[in-house]
């Protein structure tokens, strides 16, 4: 049995900016994991996939020519991930073998509450890792990221794929999004193998060292948010052509560069300064756009952290979900302040790079 694991993600800086090709972000993989367990099936038998999101029973996967389909609501991404790996296998002269795949997740709780940890990116990564391993394809992390991104972009061309990058690498990740339309066209015109070999315009995919003096705190507002809806509002805004938006993008990249330098140097003071600047920059974007990034609960999260001397900000699309803070050590006063403000403190930490990937069981 092959078991592939990937962490959920939280943005430290660069959300919203990173949807623009070539713009930078720092994202972390966190300690709630998504897993795919794959068992080989007998030759001639059906390939199946099981997930509680698809129902209680295993669902057949139909692989016919260049198409892969799964007759279950919400299974489109898993089908596209299998398809891209099947395409690569065939381009390499490898005939795909049947399998059964079971996907389980810690990214929401047993009641189905979602914490905004980027489950679609993790699903894409574990599906690609497990199926590629089963087919005997030797792939490094860069190739895993690219395959999972190709599948994601085919379904959602506007997706930054920052969640894919972070679920691939784990730990602290420096990422800049590629030109997704160019990447999609590369696959369609040249195939999957060429898409692994060619440069992707704008892409930066870098695993940063794990700092020992920068501690992540995560608070949840108990209100789930729709990233697709909020980012869709971003793309629909006329204000994207304004000087204010250009200033937001430039400032976001400046902050990301400072944060990357602080993480590399294990410099907690530099990282905390970057979070203060990032919160102000996102506030300026919210005021410019009217997207609604900072809800009342997220404003309360930020204010409560400020009262105990710790910088905090929204993480990801905002509109609910999580906020984060960075501190030089675990700060019990911050946890208490968040609880007093009605914020649920999530027991999360950054997953080291070495904890993600694929392993085999007998």
Per-residue pLDDT of the chain (362 residues; tens, 9 = 90+): 999 999 999 999 999 999 999 999 999 999 999 999 999 998 888 999 999 888 878 999 999 888 999 999 889 999 999 999 999 999 999 999 999 999 999 887 655 667 778 789 999 999 999 999 999 999 999 999 999 999 999 999 999 999 999 999 999 999 999 999 999 999 999 999 999 999 999 999 999 999 999 999 999 988 765 555 555 555 566 777 889 999 999 999 999 999 999 999 999 999 999 999 999 999 999 898 888 888 899 999 999 999 999 999 999 877 768 999 999 999 999 999 999 999 999 999 999 886 566 665 54
> Residue 163 is encoded by which pair of tokens?
């969640």
- Distance set, CA 16 to CA 23, 43, 62, 119, 189 (Å): 9, 46, 36, 18, 29
Distance CA(100)–CA(75), nearest Å, equals 15
The full set of domains in the chain, from first to last, is 2-209 (3.30.230.10), 215-346 (3.30.70.890)
Do the bridges between strand 47-51 and strand 24-40 make them parallel or antiparallel, or are there none, so unpaired?
A: unpaired
244: tokens are 């204010």
| CA dist., res. 118 & res. 163, Å (int) | 6
Which ranges in the chain belong to alpha helices (H)? 76-91, 119-134, 141-155, 162-169, 180-190, 192-197, 227-236, 243-265, 268-289, 296-307, 332-340
Neighbours of 222 (CB within 10 A): 13
pLDDT of 35 reads 95
Measured at the CA of 96, the angle between CA 200 and CA 36, to 5 degrees, comes to: 75
What is each CA distance from 28 to 117, 122, 206, 254, in whole angstroms?
10, 13, 12, 18
Closest CA to 186 of 194, 178, 197: 194
Task: Quote the pTM value.
Answer: 0.92
pLDDT of residue 232: 57
Task: State how far the Cα of 12 lies from the Cα of 27, in Å rounded to an integer.
Answer: 5
pLDDT at 239: 72
Q: Which helix (H) or strand (E) holds 69?
A: strand 67-70
Residue that is written with structure tokens 């799964």 in the block = 70
H/E stretch holding 325: strand 322-327
Distance CA 256, CA 253 (A): 5
CB 325 within 8 A of CB 312: yes
Q: Tokens for 129?
A: 């890792």
In this prediction, residue 351 carries a pLDDT of 93
Residue 98 tokens, joined? 């049947």
pLDDT for residue 82: 97
62 with 98: CB under 8 angstroms? no
């Amino acid at each position: 049995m092959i078991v592939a694991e990937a962490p959920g993600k939280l943005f430290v800086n660069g959300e919203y900016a990173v949807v623009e090709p070539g713009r930078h972000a720092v994202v972390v993989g966190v300690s709630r994991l998504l897993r795919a367990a794959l068992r080989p099936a007998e030759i001639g038998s059906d390939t199946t996939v099981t997930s509680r999101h698809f129902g209680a029973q295993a669902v057949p996967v139909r692989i016919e020519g260049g198409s892969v389909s799964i007759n279950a609501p919400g299974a489109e991404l898993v089908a596209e991930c299998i398809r891209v790996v099947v395409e690569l296998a065939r381009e390499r002269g490898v005939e795909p073998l049947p399998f059964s795949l079971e996907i389980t997740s810690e990214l929401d709780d047993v009641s189905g509450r979602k914490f905004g940890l980027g489950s679609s990116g993790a699903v894409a990564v574990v599906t690609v890792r497990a199926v590629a391993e089963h087919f005997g394809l030797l792939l490094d992390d860069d190739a895993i990221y690219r395959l999972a991104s190709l599948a994601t972009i085919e379904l959602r061309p506007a997706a930054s794929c920052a969640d894919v990058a972070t679920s691939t690498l784990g730990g602290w990740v420096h990422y800049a999004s590629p030109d997704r339309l160019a990447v999609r066209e590369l696959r369609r015109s040249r195939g999957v193998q060429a898409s692994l070999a060619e440069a992707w315009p704008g892409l930066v995919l870098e695993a940063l060292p794990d700092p020992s003096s920068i501690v992540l705190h995560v608070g949840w507002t108990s209100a789930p948010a729709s990233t697709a809806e909020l980012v869709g509002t971003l793309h629909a805004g006329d204000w994207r052509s304004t000087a204010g938006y250009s200033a937001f993008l430039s400032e976001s990249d400046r902050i990301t560069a400072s944060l990357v330098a602080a993480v590399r140097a294990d410099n907690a003071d530099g990282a905390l300064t970057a979070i203060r600047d990032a919160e102000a920059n996102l506030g300026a974007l919210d005021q410019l756009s009217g997207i609604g990034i900072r809800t009342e609960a997220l404003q309360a999260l930020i204010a409560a952290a400020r009262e105990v001397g710790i910088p905090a900000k929204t993480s990801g699309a905002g509109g609910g979900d999580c906020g984060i803070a960075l501190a030089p050590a675990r700060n019990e006063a911050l946890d208490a302040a968040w609880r007093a403000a009605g914020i649920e403190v999530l027991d999360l930490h950054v997953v080291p790079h070495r904890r993600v990937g694929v392993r085999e069981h007998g």
